[in-house]
Amino acid sequence: MVRVSRSNFPPAGSQPGAPFPFPVQLLMQHHERHNIVSQEKGMCGVHGCESEMYATGCQLMPATKRKHKAAPSRVELLEKKVDQLTSQLAALTRQNGRAPPDTSNLLTNNLGSSRDSELDSANIAALLDVAQDPSHGLDPPTSSILEGQPSIVDQGLLSEAEAERLVTTFQLELVPKFPFVLIAHGETAARLRDQEPFLFLCVVAATMGSAHPMRKTVAEEIMKHVTLRVVARSERNLELLRGLLVHVAKSSTNLDEQRALLGTYWLSAGLCGTLGRPTVMKHDDRTNECIDSISSTEHLSDRWVAPFIHLQSFLATVDDVYASIQASGGRALVQVTRGSLQRQFDSVRACVEKDISSCPSSTENAMRIEIKYVEIRLEELSLRQEMWITEPASAVRTTMLMGIIQRSKELIHMITNLPVSEIAQITITTCARICAAVGYMPAAVLTLLNLIATPTDSAMEAQVQAVVDAAEYPNLVIELANALETKCEGMSAADKEADIVGSLCSKMRLLARCYPYQIKAIVGSAPSQDARQDTSMMTVHANDVAMTPQVWPDGSAYGDLGDMFPIEDIQWDSLLSDFIGFS
Annotate 122-133 with DSSP letters as a single string.
Answer: HHHHHHHHHHT-
Contact 218, 251 (CB under 8 A): no
pLDDT recorded at residue 327? 81
How many Å apart are CA 72 and CA 372, to the nearest integer?
64
- Would the pLDDT of 583 be above 50? no
Cα Rg of the chain, angstroms: 39
pLDDT cut 70: percent of the chain above it: 69
List CB contacts of 503: < 8 A, sequence separation 6 or more.
496, 497
Q: Which residue has the higher pLDDT, 59 or 307?
A: 307
**DSSP helix/strand/coil, 99:** coil
Q: Find the angle CA(312)-CA(314)-CA(316) to the nearest 5 degrees.
A: 70
- Would the pLDDT of 213 be above 80? yes
Mean pLDDT on 248-262: 80
List CB contacts of 479: < 8 A, sequence separation 6 or more.
416
Contact 399, 445 (CB under 8 A): no
pLDDT band at 115 (very low <50, low <70, confident <90, very high): very low
Amino acid at 494: A
CA distances 22 to 9, 26, 83, 387, Å, are 16, 6, 59, 61
Mean pLDDT on 90-119: 50
- Would the pLDDT of 129 be above 70? no
Mean pLDDT on 401-422: 94
Phi, psi of 183 (to 5 degrees): -110, 110
For 274-321, how does the pLDDT look when each residue is reduced to its tens digit (9 = 90+)?
777 777 788 888 888 888 888 888 888 888 899 999 999 999 999 999
CA distances 498 to 479, 493, 504, Å, are 21, 9, 10
How many Å apart are CA 549 and CA 472, to the nearest integer?
8
pLDDT recorded at residue 92? 67
- Would the pLDDT of 261 be above 80? yes
pLDDT recorded at residue 93? 62
For 533-581, how does the pLDDT look when each residue is reduced to its tens digit (9 = 90+)?
333 434 444 344 444 455 555 555 555 444 443 445 457 777 887 888 6
pLDDT recorded at residue 433? 93
Contact 312, 271 (CB under 8 A): no
How many Å apart are CA 427 and CA 420, to the nearest integer?
14
Mean pLDDT on 326-342: 90
pLDDT recorded at residue 541? 43
pLDDT band at 417 (very low <50, low <70, confident <90, very high): very high
Maximum separation of any 2 CA atoms in the chain, in Å: 117
Mean pLDDT on 358-373: 92
